[in-house]
Structures are given as C-alpha cells and as structure tokens.
Amino acid sequence: MSGLEIQPMLPMERLRREVAPGAVQLPNWLSLDQQREIVEACRGWAAGPVPLRHTRLPTGNVMSVQTVCLGWHWSPYKYTRTAEDAGGAAVAPMPDWLVELGQTAVAEAYGDPDAGQAYRPDTALINFYDDQARMGMHQDKDEKSNQPVVSLSIGDTAVFRFGNTENRNRPYTDVELVSGDLFVFGGPSRFAYHGVPKVLPRSADPACGLAAGRLNLTLRTTGLSLASSAELPTAHDRST
Ligand code: MD3
Ligand code: FE
C-alpha cells in the first residue's frame, strides 16, 4: 500500500435552491418520459397554425431564439389572439394538461398547494434555442398580473442569468438550467431582469427527445380577459 489512493469523484448533486426570494429552482423535475412527451407536443405546435419563427423587434433586429405561443400570441410588446406578425392565424389553445402541470409546479416550488390551485396560466411561450441563440437581459412586464412565471427547460444546458429588479446590470447570479429543470419566478422576483447568455451544445441526454438545441416553455398569466366588455355583466344586469 502506497497510501496514495485515488478517490473516485462523486457527481455533484443538484438540489432545490431559492436564487432570490420567490425564485425557486427544482432540478430534474421532469422525468425523461415527460420531457419526450413535451418535445413531441412542441413539434406539433411548431407546425402550426402559427409557425415557430424569429420574432422581429421594433429596432428591425430579429431575436436569435425562435418562438411559438399558446393561448395568447406575444409580439413586442403585447398579447393578442391572432399572430398578426406571423401569418395572422389564431393561436393554438393552451391545453388543460399544461395548465395543470403549471399548478403542480407552483405548488411544489413553494410547498404551497393553495398557491398551486390559485395559479391560472393562460399563455405559454415556447422558445427554441439553436447552438448560437441567446437572450439579452430583459424584464417580462407585458403581463397585467402578478402571478408567477413557470419555466421548464428541455435539451441542451443553458446558462441562465438572474439579475435584479432595478436595471439590467450586476448584481446577478448565473445558474445552469439543465434538461428537466423547473424554475418558478414569483413574488419579488417576478419582475427581475434575466437573460440567457449561452447554451452548451450537445450537453443533453438525447433521451430527452431533442438531439440538439434547447426548448424553454414559460407559462404566464396575461391578466387579459377573453370576454368582450359587451359580454361582461353591467351594473344594470346585476340584481345585487
Ligand atoms: C424571471 N426565457 O421567454 S426562462 C422569456 O430560458 C425568457 O428561454 C428564458 O426569459 C429562457 O422571456 C428564461 C426563465 C424566466 C422566464 C421569465 C421570467 C425567468 C424569469 C420572468 C420574471 C423573472
Ligand atoms: Fe423572460
């Protein structure tokens, strides 16, 4: 015995973490089966009625990420029922299973079944990142609701940058988002700046359903109502 033995390295276990108040990461939250099912659903939504496309910004630049929406169509900087900047079709509905997955996500992230039941996301933005795609630091403030944003990541690992609510600069925290990870952003973190400075090519287990690139689904509550004002009860209609 030399006394100089080699110790095998233990893989680092990734644990639940609260990056900031209300910003909770649950690593490996989706099983590989669930990831593959969600990838298949995304392939269907990317085929139409609204195509997966690079969103054009008012500057004339296009986003490197490609996006398709459910429930409501997001374009800079509003939500509409039809995709006026992407062929004009009506957006596909938000399926009940995705609403329920969001409710379970909020309940588990916050350890609060009531918060899960109260969560009523009515839109999902599905973002596809190729190896070069990035997302600059921004706030999501087109929603007229304080409900949390639920983020699900599938495919290649991303470096996610979580900033502060004041400006797009430091202080920020970089977090790796791995295939299957859940992140919930609520409370004081809901309107924080954030971005994706890079994606790590070929970092995912192909069993997730994506051979290359990254999918991120964000579930949100727009605060908009489907009913037109004519369909809402007026003071005159009400007996109480
Ligand atoms: C923190 N997507 O679609 S998900 C976006 O990985 C977006 O594709 C990134 O930022 C992505 O707008 C980040 C995490 C995320 C989403 C919304 C947030 C973090 C958030 C809203 C408020 C605070
Ligand atoms: Fe965002």
The domain limits of the chain are: 17-226
Residue closest by Cα to atom 10 of ligand 1: 195
> How far is 222 from 144, CA to CA, in rounded Å?
6
Q: Decide if domain 17-226 falls under CATH 2.120.10.30.
A: no
Please say whether the beta carbons of 25 and 183 come within 8 A: yes
pLDDT value of residue 1: 63
17 forms bridges with which residues in the sheet? Answer: 25
Mean pLDDT per segment of 10 residues, for the chain of length 240 residues? 82 94 98 98 97 97 98 98 97 98 99 98 98 98 98 98 96 97 98 98 98 98 79 48
Distance CA 93, CA 44 (A): 13
**pTM of the predicted model, to two decimals?**
0.93
Q: Is 194 in the pocket of ligand 1 (CB under 6 A)?
A: yes
Q: How far is the CA of 48 from the centre of ligand 1 (A)?
A: 23
Ligand that comes closest to the CA of residue 163:
1
Ligand 1 pocket check for 135: Cβ under 6 Å = yes
Three-state secondary structure call for residue 62: strand
Digit-coded pLDDT (tens) for 139-198: 999 999 999 999 999 999 999 999 999 999 999 999 999 999 999 999 999 999 999 999
Distance 136 CA to ligand 2 centre (A): 9
Query: Ligand 2 being an ion, which residues bring their Cβ within 5 A of it?
Result: 140
pLDDT (tens digit, 9 = 90+) per residue, 180-193?
A: 999 999 999 999 99
